[in-house]
Amino acid sequence: MKIILSRKGFDSAAGKVASPILSNGEICSLPIPESRPGKHSKQYRDINHSGVSLGKIVSALTNNRIKPSTFAHLDPDLDFNAIPRPQNWRPVFGQANAAERHLQNRKVGKGDLFLFFGWFREAEIKNGKYRFVPGAPDAHIIFGWLQIEQRRPIDDNLSSLPEWARGHPHYKNNPYGKPDSIYTSTNRLKLTGVDIDKPGAGLLQKYSPVLRLTAKDSSKRSIWELPEWFHPEGKTTGLSYNESHDRWLRKNKTVTLDSAKRGQEFVLDCDEYPESIEWAATILTSP
């Protein structure tokens, strides 16, 4: 089994602001704008988070630079209630180009687990509008998961893909790049040696310190604090894109990582790091 830390949602290039941690503690990942909308594409105002339109949230936090009518790249698509769904729908994640090639090179497939993280900051409602809390720190936070049931390549034969996935951004005849694939989720989550009752994919609703990757005392969100077993010393593999020992620093019973700025998919082999399964279970069962 492999665990993939997958960077998704608004960032400094796409969106240019953080996703919000709402005043009730909910974490709300904002999907990036859609560069190539198709007939099934959704606008931000069409997508709901806990009954609130993302159009209202995104327009306020970007000072209307991104409008409610802007098309969104809803990917990973993890929340059944975000938009109307066809029968038998399951969560889906799509990836293309170098990032998808990296996943294939690392032999990511059935049973492996994506943990999605992104850039977050505390937000509040002031005078009826969402805004970021002044002085609130930036952090990388895990917000969702998907365990892979199957990787399905995007090619000229879209009929091989499940009909219920046709609303996904990657379900189109003109791929985002080559290779291009969608990953469909398992029905229920299964982790070796761990009894956990969860669906195969979903969103983590409330912020908890166990979801935070960024070190508590760091002014840079890319400086992470992780359990000490993450250090690649003495291992044949490490967290991909972060294998260099120069990136890691031991600190009491933890390690800090100057995480790679490039790369969307960081892959960890659970055979080399067996503690990672219990770590993932702790994240997925956070309050």
pLDDT digits (tens, 9 = 90+) for 242-251: 999 999 999 9
The percentage of residues in the chain with a pLDDT greater than 70, rounded to a whole number, is 100
Q: What is the pLDDT of residue 159?
A: 79
Is the pLDDT reported for residue 263 higher than 90?
Answer: no
pLDDT tens for 78-91 read 999 999 999 999 99
Whether 156 has a pLDDT exceeding 70, the answer reads no
Question: pTM of this prediction?
Answer: 0.97
**Does the structure show a pLDDT above 90 at 38?**
no
Distances in Å between the alpha carbon of 58 and those of 22, 38, 43, 55, 182?
A: 13, 21, 11, 5, 26
